[in-house]
Every structure is written in structure tokens, then in C-alpha cells.
Structure 1
Amino acid sequence: MPKVGVACSGGGYRAMLSGAGMIAAMDNRTDGANEHGLGGLLQGATYLAGLSGGNWLTSTLAWNNWTSVQAIVDNTTASNSIWDISHSILTPGGINIFKTGSRWDDISDDVQAKQDAGFNISLADVWGRALAYNFWPDLYRGGVGYTWSTLREADVFKNAEMPFPISVADGRYPGTTVINLNATLFEFNPFEMGSWDPTLNAFTDVKYLGTNVTNGKPVNKGRCTAGFDNTGFITATSSTLFNQFLLQLNSTGLPSFIADLAADFLSDISDNSDDIAIYAPNPFKEADFLQKNATSGIIESDYLFLVDGGEDNQNIPLVPLLQQERELDIIFALDNSADTNDYWPDGASLVNTYQRQFHSQGLNLSFPYVPDVNTFVNLGLNKKPTFFGCDATNLTDLEYIPPLIVYIPNSRHSFNGNQSTFKMSYSDSERLGMIKNGFEASTMGNFTDDSDFLGCVGCAIIRRKQQSLNATLPAECSRCFTNYCWNGTIDNRSVSGIGNGDYSSSASISASNGASSSGSSSTRKQNAGNAFVSYSNLNTNTFIGVLSVLSAVFGLI
């Protein structure tokens, strides 16, 4: 069976809601997904990665017992509705100032309790507690005691009824503020957190974060800390870009007693810590089991500082899914970035990940050739699904044959999905409109723009296996690849209004170059210690059913 990954980009609630529609189109639990969508694809996926707003989506689904977008939509008007974002996160009670005051009082108490227990706090702690009420409304105080590692004990996870979820954040070295393509990229999964990058190349058990360790062993023998891996905190870690939004708590637009409360628990957090999540004690302190090129700035510090996973301008969490050890055949890259002046994607995330393989952190990565962002826009590749890396024989100069990338950008169909990243409240109708438009963006308008799109996705899914077996595909697949695969055409005429994403431009130094640049990579990555890189989805019956549909359409199998 082909091994499938899905990567959900950042972009605030826009990415969460539009991405939800795209995910819903792949889920056979969604009404109409089997007739007008890619139903069953999600059931056949092995990995599901999220970053920032995309991680709000993936974490919501995974840590609500693998609920479906359909179930969330069906429960929209209920008092305990998931994603009830009709009011800003700053004023969750709307005109009910007492509800808002009570909420922030609880958040203040929760964050203070962490500090009283001896742990460092930052705005990420506040942000995580605030977010959690929207994602886990049925849990006491938004899941104040709910931990990331809890998922590995859930039946839906143990029985492989869901993909393996991954959250992505960037490392920031102590005393620095700049994030670029050579930043250390961290992943969180239900078992571990750590990095595949050469600057660390190590993982630690996520359950025991907060334990004071030296060289991976507890300083106090036999004593470990549990509970640091709060689900809201880790979810917030991947989206610390929004910490600046919390600074508005001091706004005079809030009732005075709420503003005073905000000032009280934000007053001790310095400006240069606004965008970080603090992981201390540092789980990698004084580790001597790392490779020789590990960065001393990580292992010598008492603190591990992590920031929003998109701050290196790789706003689609592709790197964890590109690891050769994970052996993926295909990745569906859902891009809900706001790269243009009008808040549409322009392909910059793909370009930056392509370029990373030629930097020191990407020595062990392979990513298929992609064009520059001007070409993305000029050829309209940012407005419809496009396949990259279709022909493995053209990729032999790379470190290894990478997965085929199915790029699915946010585009307008039935609703204006290009909402601002910092739009922090949506009415019920807006919420449903965003989800519906995302469904349509990932299905060529429910196949109205191309009735063969489902079959073409099937061709893409089995492409790597077909080429490795030197098998022959039917003519229909050849037509699909002609229509959807980027053929190498470049049109780099300058386009105005692009390259203006949510993150610092410091990371996008190469975003205009795309495949026009070349470089070399070397040194195979050793196993990073993640015992679960080969996690395999055992529940393949549904996906086999999808391939059977494709067989009926094109005679593929």
C-alpha cells in the first residue's frame, strides 16, 4: 500500500477552518465526501502534520478522540460546540463581561499555578489556556489537566484508526530573535518531541518533559515530572505568532477590571519573550549522545526556546514527513497561507522547503523541484491543485527520491476564504462558509471543474509504487499527469503584491529562486532515536475501498 501523509499549513483560524474543509473532503465520515470528494483518503493516511493554525485543526481532531469535521459542523449551535469562535478569544463572553472576567481569572490561576510549581512561564502558557477552551470545551477548564501523551493510550490511536499526528515548532537560540531556514525544526508527536535536524538529531519522551535531566537522565534518580506536556501548551507552542495578539489584553477597550487582571499576569513577561514557549528544564541539556555537529546553543542552555512553526517561512509542516525513514510515497500539502496582499498563498512555503535541502539543516532531506513564487502566480499554480515530483527518474540528483507532493492551495469557490490571519472571531455562517470553500478547493469544486480529479489523485497516490515496480499505468493517468504535474515551465516575470506573509521576511531569503538554484547535499541521517517513525496505519480497508473506486474509473488495479 502507498504510504500517505497530510500536512496542514499555518494561518490562524483561516487555516483551521479552510483546512478543516480540505480534511473533510478526504474523510469518509463527511456527508458527500464519497460522492463528491476524496472520501477514504484520510482513513488511509499514515501521518497528519499541523503547524500553527493547521495544528489547531489537527490537534482538535486528534485529541477529541479523533472526531470528524462533520461531527463538529453538526454540533455548531450547541452550547458546548467545538470551535465556537463567534467571540474573540480576548472576550469569550461577548457582551457578558462577567463570563469573560471569569474565564481570564481561571486562566490567570492556571498559569500562576505552573509558575508556583517552579516552572518558567511565557505568553505561550496564557495563549495555550485561552485556545484550549475552543478546542476541548467539554473538558474541565478547557482541559487544564489534559496532556499530549494521553493520546497514546486512546483506543483510536492504539488501534491505528487515525493517522499519526505531528505538531511542528521552530527552535530559537537563547539571546537571539532571528529565525531562518537553518533554524532547528522540532516536532511533537504522542510519544516524543525533538528534531531530525543535524543541530540536534535527538528525541525525548514527551510525557516526561519538565523533568530536570542531564545527558538524558534525571538529575534526581528515579524522580520524573509528568503533566508538563499540557495539550493546550503544546498546541500554543506551534502558534506563538499569536502571542502578540494577547498583548491587546492591556487595551483600554476591555472592562477595567479585566485589563487590570491582564496587566497583572503579563507584567512579568519581557518584550523579547513575547513570541516564545519556554521548555525548562531543557530536555537536551548536556547530552553527549548527539552527533558531532549538534549545536552547543541547544545542549548548553538551561532553557529550550520554541516559537511558531511557521517563523522560518516553511508554513506547511513538510519536513517531518520528508524524512527518508518514514518512507512516504505522497504528501498532500494543504496551503492556507496568506502570502499575497489579498491573503492567498503564492507557493512560498514549498519554495522555502525546497531551498532548505541545500542549506546545512537540510543535508539529509530531499524535496522535488518547484518553481519560484512568481511562476507559481503567473501560471496559476496557487489557484488549483498541482503535483510536484511526478517523475522519479528526474529526481535522481537529489539525496533520495522524495515523496510526490500534491499541492492544494486555498482558493475562492463559494466563499471568500482569504480572511486575515488575525481575524479572531467568525460567525457560524462564516465558519461553515470557510469549511465548505475548503472542501471545494481540494476537490476542484466538488469535481465540477474536473470530473476526473478523483482518478487523478489515485494516479498520484500509486505513482511512486508504480515507478519502483516499473509497472504500466493506463492512458488516463498520463492525461492526469499532463494536466496536473508541473512540467518545469518557468515564468518569473515580477508579480506585485506577493511575498508578504505573516512571518518575518528574514527566512525567505531564497523564496524567489525556487528550482533555479542548485546545490549538493551529503551525509545520510542516522536514526534520530524515534522508535515510532515506522508507525503504520493498520486500518487500510477504507483506503482499499477508495482504490477500488479508482479501479472502476480507470482500471488502475
Structure 2
Amino acid sequence: MKSVFSALLILNYILGVQSWSPTDSYAPGPIDCPSDKKLTRTADGLSDEEVTWLEGRKTISNDNLIAFLEHANMTDFDAADFVNNKANDTIKIGIAFSGGGYRAMLCGAGQLAALDNRTTGAWEHGLGGLLQASTYLVGLSGGNWLVGTIVMNNFTDVDTILREGKIWDLSHSIVNVGGIKVWETYDYYKNIEDALDEKRDAGYDVSITDTWGRALSYQFFSKLNDTGAALTWSTLQESEPFTNYQMPFPIVVADGRTPGTTIISGNSTIFEVNPYELGSWDPSLYQFTDVKYLGTKVKDGEPENGKCIGGFDNAGFIMGTSSSLFNQFILQINTTSLSSAIKSILSSILNDISNHENDIAVYKPNPFFDTDFGTKSITNNDTLFLCDGGEDLQNVPLAPLLQPDRQVDVIFSFDNSADTDGYWPNGASLVATYQRQFLPQGNGTLFPYVPDVNSFRNLNLTAKPTFFGCDAKNLTSLLNSSVTSSKGSIYDTPLLVYTANRPFTYWSNTSTFKMSYEEKEKLGMIQNGFEVASRLNNTLDPEWAACVGCAIIRRTEERNGLEQSQQCQECFARYCWNGDLDNKYAGVNFTDAGITNGTEDNGGRSLNAGFSLTLVGEQKTSLIKLMGYALLVTAVFAISF
């Protein structure tokens, strides 16, 4: 049991102690059941809680949107009059960050920093304030490590994380966190094993994702004295930045997959986890459950014997679920050059993990067991199996933002995928999302036309931000092509602003499975991410912020029959995909002007002024020291064997 002092630290850190694990540990435990509702509901609309929250967020997001649009220097446009006009619907902005391991997290961190008016230089050289004006913030896998870190640490910001130097310490691999300090790595695995034993002893199955989630927590929740062992995702419901509507509504994306099966975008069940619920809009489930009561035995949505469980929704476990592709990496660590003592602990941890569940998160008991909606493969199983949200090729998590009930006007999607041999994006995720709308699982969602992956690169659509769905009238044919009818009008199809990772001042195409980053590498990735989102600190297009503003207001203009300003027409001519295709062999887009040249030449770029990061605790190690460390590590490993 933690001391009173520790409890006070936690209370001061994130308000809402009731949502922490009732056992004050990684193990779930009994809590009171809600008296006014079932634990599950059909996905026939937004939850009452989300609707209420959106109403509170509206005033704050509108004020921030006005400030952003005014600062963007849009000509012939009155931001306050437009946003506050009661004839206009509230403009809802969604932001989505792709998966891709630490590459996606670090590139995404720079991109998010460029949208955050708390970041030094973002207001002057980026898109500062766009985050504060947004309604939804979605992450998948590595993108969710970013989103989860920010929102679960009291809605911190990237500047603060880097300045304090406590979170995102990636100097050592998550497999060998102590480096040459073998005893630290041993303690690390021993603590993970103890946490898993606590969950087992409480009567719950443990999957490899429990190991992965606890490991991630050491990097993401290092400011907590228990590294997030008792921190639950539902803590967000009572955290001050969320209850005061100072942050966007965060959503995690994962896929449903039964062990031994393969999923593609057409047959996958896309799950989301938001501060209130876990579930899916897809017809294969079409249900949500209260995330706070995961771990409760239910039948047709009712708790068995009126008993409920809390603490199953551990924050690290939720974030690990969305990135369970990395479980394969965890399974290999027993073959690495670690000491025999550490290998023994790893063998103990992995001993009870079935090879058939090595990339799956096990949610048992299944909250949707014996319910009336969805397929039998989900509702007739006492276990719900979830996996990495990018396994169905939709690595940019757009599905939650395409739901007609959310009425999102514009989506800013940041693609840090590794689609090509050189680990760069090529639009494959958008192609998969586009194709899915014509299948039953699309369930009436609409998505703008996009080209093939070769055209994405040959037409420079990955070389600079690209707008899709610029003219809603041109999307009318999608209504007739959908297997199931859309719930809304064609104007409810969000306009998509697509931004792909590419090099400006740093080669940010690191491997998805790169497990450690030196401080210079980490900062280089984040710096480049800022430059990707800001169009090289607004130097490539001084009107970039204004063009973003034009994208934000477009759907409202169309609904009300308003003509675009001359400035916005020119912006759309620069950034909208015009429908052209060029599907020959794709070159490589690496010049500032976005010209495909077929070579990996950075054009002699130099670091541009604007966003600036301060190195935190950078170690300037001489070659002699490096050689000494190498010899020491070699000796330790030799002794271990």
C-alpha cells in the first residue's frame, strides 16, 4: 500500500482519485456498479456523456478558433462574425496521428507541437492554437503513445516534456532500460513480473500486452512513483483539463481480431477507446461499453450478481493494446544478450503466454458477451481480442472522425507510416480507408476520393500537405456507391488535410522497430516534425496558416452557399488534389519545392529558424569513453553467458 504522501502526490498530479485502480495496484478490484444504466449500449449515436462534454468544449474551442483564424491573416474574412454566427453549425476539427512506433511518436510530437500555442515559436512560425481549437484528438499505435502521453499527463505539452526530461527517456531500449547497469534492468523486469502476478492473483488472464503496456508506462508515466501501475484510462473522466474542457476529446484506435485469423480493412472491426467508452461503430459489433467497468462479468450488458470491477482499464494496457504489433518484439527479448538472471525473469513472464495470442490483447471477461448486436464471433466468446489498430492497413486512425454523429468538418491527418522500402508514407492508409466505405463494414461513413499510392508520390501529394474533398458537390456519387446509406448529407463528409512525414532538417525515416534514440536523434525527429506541419516554419508558404483556415471553414461555407474568398481559392488551387493520376513507378520526393527527383538527396538544407528545442541532459561522450563502454558491455554479456 502506498504511503499517504504518495497518495497525495497522485491526487495533486491528476484529480479524480476514484478512477484509479481500487486496489492501488495493477490488479483490478471491486467497485460499486452504476445505478442508472446498463454497462453496454447500441452504437446508434454518441453517448450522453460525450454529448454533454461537447457542449462544454464548444465555447472554448470557438474562442480559440477565432484567435487562430484572426492570427492566420485571412483576407476578406471576419473570424468572430463567422464562428459566432448562430446560423452556422459549430465547426468541429479532428486531428489524427498515425502509427509507426517511436518514429510516429517523435515525428508526431513535433507536428503536435506546431499546432500547440504553448510551444515556443508555434504561434509565430507554425500553426499554434489549432490544437486548442480542435474537438477531437485521435491516435493509433505510436501515434497513440503521443496522444496518450499528452492527455494522461494532465494534458502536458511537448515543450514541457523536453524541458523536464523525465518522460520519453529513449536513451536505452525498452528491452534493456538500464543499459550497462544490469541491476536496473533486473529491477525493471522484476517490477513488471510483480504487477502481472497481482493481476493473475486477482483472477484475470494476462496477455503479452500486459507486459508491453507496463513496459511502455515506464517511459510515459515516469513522473508517477508507481509508473502508472494504478493509473486507469477512465481517470480522464475526472482530470481537470478534461472536465474544464481545456483539451480535445482523446480517442484510441485498435482492431478486433480472433487468435489465428488474419484481418484486412474490409473485415476488421475497428474499436475505439475514448474517456467514457470502448466499442465499435461497425456492424460486426455496433456497441459500446463503459470503459470504467471493464473486467466486470456481464451478460447482455448487465453485471452478473450486481458486482462490478474497476481498474482493468489500466492506461498503459490501453495504450499497449493499440500497439500490440510490438508484442512480437517483446517475445524476442529472451533471445537477446541479456544476463541469465534477467532471462529467467523474462521466461517467467512469458511462460503463461500462448503463442496463439502473441500479438493480441486479451479482454476477459468480454463486455459484449451474449448481447443482441454484432457477430457471434465477438458476442458468443467470453473473451474480447484486440490488436494493433494498423493491422488492417488503416494506419492513420480516421474511422472515429468519419462517424456522421460526430459531424467533424475537417480532419488534419499526420501520416508517419513506413509504407515504402525507405520507411516513408505513400498514402496507403488513405487508400484503405477510402475503399472500406464501399463494404458493409463501412456502415454509411463517407470518405473523399483519393488516388493510388504511386500517384500520391509522383504528384507530390506526400511532399507537401494535400487537401482531399475540397468540393463537397463532387462527392455526391459516393452516396450512391455506399453499401449502406449514409446517415448525413454530403456536406457531412469531412475535408481531409493530409500531411506526410518527409525530411527537411533530419532524416526522419527511422525503422518502426528502432527501440532507442539518443538525445540528438530524438530532438532531430521532433524538430523535423514541427517543420513538416509548419511548412518549414512557414518559409515555404507564408500563407500556410491562412490556407489552413480556408480548409477549416470550407464545409460551413458550402452548407450556407457562401463563396470562397480570392485568397482561399488560390490556397485550394495550391493544395487540393485535382483528381489527376500518375501511377507509373514512384520516385522519391525530397526537395523543398516538392519535385519528384528519384534520389534521396536533401538538397543541402540547413536548419531554419523558428521552432527551437533545448537539449535536456545531453551527454557529450568522447570516442574513448564510447570504446570503454563497449568493452564493459561486452564483458558483462560474456559473464552472463
Q: How far apart are the structure 2 equivalents of 1:287 and 1:100? A: 44
Aligned to 1:93: 178
Q: How far apart are the structure 1 equivalents of 2:464 and 2:159? A: 24
Aligned to 1:473: 564
Which residue type is aligned with residue 141 of structure 2? Answer: S
The 5 A counterparts of 1:433-472 are 433-472=524-563
Aligned to 1:282: 366
Aligned to 1:325: 405
2:141 pairs, out of 43, 52, 61, with 52
Aligned to 1:15: 104
Aligned to 2:420: 340
Q: How far apart are the structure 2 equivalents of 1:44 and 1:451? A: 21
Aligned to 2:465: 385
Q: Secondary structure at the match of 1:23?
A: helix
1:198 pairs, out of 270, 274, 283, with 283
1:429 equivalent to 2:532? Answer: no
1:358 equivalent to 2:438? Answer: yes
Deviation (angstroms), 1:247: 1.3
The 5 A counterparts of 1:55-74 are 55-74=144-163
| Count, aligned residues | 489
Q: How far apart are the structure 2 equivalents of 1:316 and 1:494? A: 24
Ranges in structure 1 where 5+ consecutive residues have no aligned partner: 499-557
Contact 2:221 2:228 in 1 (8 A): yes
Q: Which digits, 9 at most, give the CA deviation of each residue in 1:278-330, with x for residues without a partner?
A: 00000000012x2xxx2111000011000000000000000001000000100
Q: Of the two, which has the highest radius of gyration?
A: 2
Q: How far apart are the structure 1 equivalents of 2:260 and 2:525? A: 40
Which residue type is aligned with residue 366 of structure 1? Answer: L
Deviation (angstroms), 1:252: 4.2
Q: How far apart are the structure 1 equivalents of 2:588 and 2:466? A: 22
Contact 1:341 1:497 in 2 (8 A): no
Which residue type is aligned with residue 71 of structure 1? Answer: T
Q: How far apart are the structure 1 equivalents of 2:466 and 2:572? A: 9
Deviates more, 1:168-177 or 1:262-271: 168-177
Q: Secondary structure at the match of 2:473?
A: helix
The 5 A counterparts of 1:61-460 are 61-76=150-165, 81-221=166-306, 223-288=307-372, 290=373, 294-399=374-479, 400-401=489-490, 402-460=493-551
Q: Residues 32 and 252 (structure 1 numbering): CA distance in 2 closer, same or farther, change over 3 Å?
A: closer
Q: How far apart are the structure 2 equivalents of 1:340 and 1:159? A: 42
Q: Residues 252 and 20 (structure 1 numbering): CA distance in 2 closer, same or farther, change over 3 Å?
A: closer
Deviation (angstroms), 1:473: 2.1
Deviates more, 1:187-196 or 1:389-398: 389-398
Q: Percent identity between the aligned chains?
A: 57
Higher helix share: 2
Q: Secondary structure at the match of 2:477?
A: coil
- Give the TM-score taking structure 1 as reference length: 0.86
Contact 2:94 2:401 in 1 (8 A): yes
Contact 2:410 2:552 in 1 (8 A): yes
Q: How far apart are the structure 1 equivalents of 2:457 and 2:303? A: 52
Deviation (angstroms), 1:90: 0.6
Q: How far apart are the structure 2 equivalents of 1:107 and 1:145? A: 13
Aligned to 1:484: 575
Q: How far apart are the structure 2 equivalents of 1:390 and 1:252? A: 51
Contact 1:240 1:276 in 2 (8 A): yes
Q: Which digits, 9 at most, give the CA deviation of each residue in 1:433-489, with x for residues without a partner?
A: 111100000111111111111110010010101111111221111110000000000
Q: Residues 300 and 415 (structure 1 numbering): CA distance in 2 closer, same or farther, change over 3 Å?
A: same
Across the aligned residues of Structure 1 and Structure 2, the Cα RMSD in angstroms comes to 1.3
Q: Secondary structure at the match of 1:380?
A: coil
Aligned to 1:39: 128
Q: Secondary structure at the match of 1:220?
A: helix
Q: How far apart are the structure 2 equivalents of 1:177 and 1:341? A: 23
Q: Residues 382 and 248 (structure 1 numbering): CA distance in 2 closer, same or farther, change over 3 Å?
A: same
Q: How far apart are the structure 2 equivalents of 1:164 and 1:57? A: 14
Q: Secondary structure at the match of 2:405?
A: helix
Q: How far apart are the structure 2 equivalents of 1:352 and 1:175? A: 22
Q: How far apart are the structure 2 equivalents of 1:198 and 1:180? A: 14
Q: How far apart are the structure 1 equivalents of 2:141 and 2:228? A: 19
Contact 1:24 1:33 in 2 (8 A): yes
